[in-house]
Amino acid sequence: MDARLREFARQTKGFMPEAEGLALHQAGMEASAIGPLLEVGSYCGLSALYLGSAARDSGTVLITVDHHRGSEETQPGWEHHDPEVVDPRSGRIDTLPFLRRTLEETGLEGTVIVIVGDSPAVSPVVAGGLGLLFIDGGHALDVAMADYTAWAGHLAAGGLLAIHDVFEDSAEGGQAPFEVWQRAVADGFVPVSTTGSLRLLRHH
């Protein structure tokens, strides 16, 4: 991946270790041959930078979906809360300005299409045929499962499903993404690889 973007990623707010970001980038490079890339959970654009770089270099786009109001686990008082992403006017989380800035400063505005909205409400108005679907939105079980059921059918045959924060051991993290991964396997997705908490599966 582009050295400048890699360096930029190290300065970007977010929840994606570099090794996982690079694995995501690699998956994006491969999947771009099949169709556009889509992620649920933009936050400040860290994973969008890895996927957007792949989309740009292979001539496709990344669609990134988020309501930008944060997940349960990023609200004030929770483990992953960052007071810098709170809008002082409203007192609510607003990560959209951070995402815009990430895309502006990396030159990815022409490649990354930003959709602001609730993920299950957005899915029916976005076309299918996706090369890659990355699920990294809310991590409560009902929310994560709703993302899977809303979007999995948008993948093209041979496309890649990427799920973040998959921990088999509950001592390491919440179990919802692992339950989504198990559901995907039960639905016929074929496990391809694991990098840290990032799991890749292929749509049959």
Give the footprint of Mg ion on this chain (CB under 5 A): 15, 136, 164-165
43 interface partner picked from Mg ion, ligand SAH, none, CB below 5 to 8 A per type: ligand SAH
Q: In the structure encoding, which two tokens stand for residue 130, read together?
A: 């996706």
Q: Helix %, strand %, coil % for the chain, to 5?
A: 40, 20, 40
- Known catalytic residue at 139: yes
165 interface partner picked from ligand SAH, Mg ion, none, CB below 5 to 8 A per type: Mg ion
144 interface partner picked from ligand SAH, Mg ion, none, CB below 5 to 8 A per type: none
User: Dihedral through CA 62, CA 51, CA 152, CA 70, nearest 10?
Assistant: -90
Given the residues 67, 68, 139, 164, the one annotated as active site: 139
Which spans of this chain sit near ligand SAH (rule: CB under 6 A)?
A: 14-16, 41, 43, 46-47, 65-71, 95, 118-119, 136-138, 143
In angstroms, give the least distance from the CB of 178 to ligand SAH: 17
Q: Given phi > 0 = left and psi -120 to 50 = alpha, else beta, which region is 68? A: left
In angstroms, give the least distance from the CB of 196 to Mg ion: 10
Strand partners, 197: none
Determine the Cα–Cα distance for residues 15 and 17; give it in Å rounded to an integer. 7
| Catalytic residue numbers, as ranges | 139
